[in-house]
Amino acid sequence: MALPLNISELINGQTVESERIEFKEGWNPEAILHTLCAFANDMNNWGGGYIIIGIKSENGKNVLPPAGLNTEQLNSYQKKLIELCHKITPNYFPVSSPEKYQGKHILVLWAPGGETRPYKTPKTLAKKSEQFYYVRRFSSTVKANTSEEHQLFNLAAKVPFDDRINHNASIDDYNPHLIKSFLKQADSDLHSTMDSMSLKDLCARMQIARGPKEYLKPVNAGLLLFTDNPEKYFRDTRIEVVEYQDDIGDKFTEKIFTGPILLTAV
* Mean local confidence (pLDDT), 24-29: 96
* Mean local confidence (pLDDT), 98-102: 95
125 or 236, higher pLDDT: 125
- In contact, 191 and 3? CB cutoff 8 Å: no
What pLDDT, on the 0 to 100 scale, is given for residue 259? 81
pLDDT at 99 over 90: yes
**What's the Cα-to-Cα distance from 171 to each of 47, 92, 134, 157, 182, rounded to whole Å?**
21, 24, 34, 25, 17
- In contact, 85 and 79? CB cutoff 8 Å: no
Q: How many CB atoms lie within 10 A of CB 79?
A: 10
Percent of the chain with pLDDT over 70: 96
* Mean local confidence (pLDDT), 187-202: 92
207 or 31, higher pLDDT: 31
**Long-range contacts from 242-247, C-beta under 8 angstroms, 24+ separation:** none
Q: How far is CA 159 from the centre of its chain?
A: 15
Q: Which residues contact 182 (CB under 8 A, 6 or more apart)?
A: 225, 226, 262
pLDDT at 123 over 60: yes
* Mean local confidence (pLDDT), 156-161: 74
Instruction: Choose from 33-42, 91-100, 242-251 the range with maximum mean pLDDT.
Output: 33-42
* Mean local confidence (pLDDT), 160-165: 82
- Assign residue 247 a region: left if phi > 0, alpha if psi is -120 to 50, beta otherwise? alpha
| Residue intervals in the chain for CATH 3.30.950.30 | 7-158
Q: Which residues contact 126 (CB under 8 A, 6 or more apart)?
A: none
Q: Tell me the one-letter amino acid at 9.
A: E
pLDDT tens-place string over residues 77-91:
999 999 999 999 998
* Mean local confidence (pLDDT), 103-117: 91
* Mean local confidence (pLDDT), 16-42: 94
- In contact, 260 and 225? CB cutoff 8 Å: yes
Mean pLDDT of the chain: 90
pLDDT at 260 over 90: no
What pLDDT, on the 0 to 100 scale, is given for residue 105? 97
Percent of the chain with pLDDT over 90: 64
What is the dotted CATH code of the domain comprising 7-158? 3.30.950.30
pLDDT at 258 over 60: yes
What pLDDT, on the 0 to 100 scale, is given for residue 255? 85
- Residue 157's pLDDT band (cuts 50, 70, 90): low
In SS3 terms, the chain reads as CCCCCCHHHHHCCCCCCHHHEEEECCCCHHHHHHHHHHHHHCCCCCCCEEEEECCEEECCEEECCCCCECHHHHHHHHHHHHHHHCCCECCCCCEEEEEEECCEEEEEEEECCCCCCCCEEECCCCCCCCEEEEEEECCEEEECCHHHHHHHHHHHCCCCHHHCECCCCCHHHCCHHHHHHHHHHCCCCHHHHHHHCCHHHHHHHCCCEECCHHHCEEEHHHHHHHCCCHHHCCCCCCEEEEEECCCCCCCEEEEEECCCHHHHCC
* Mean local confidence (pLDDT), 139-158: 90
- In contact, 185 and 4? CB cutoff 8 Å: no
Give bridge partners of residue 53 from the DSSP assignment: 24, 107
- Residue 214's pLDDT band (cuts 50, 70, 90): low
pLDDT tens-place string over residues 230-252:
999 988 888 888 888 888 778 88
* Mean local confidence (pLDDT), 131-155: 94
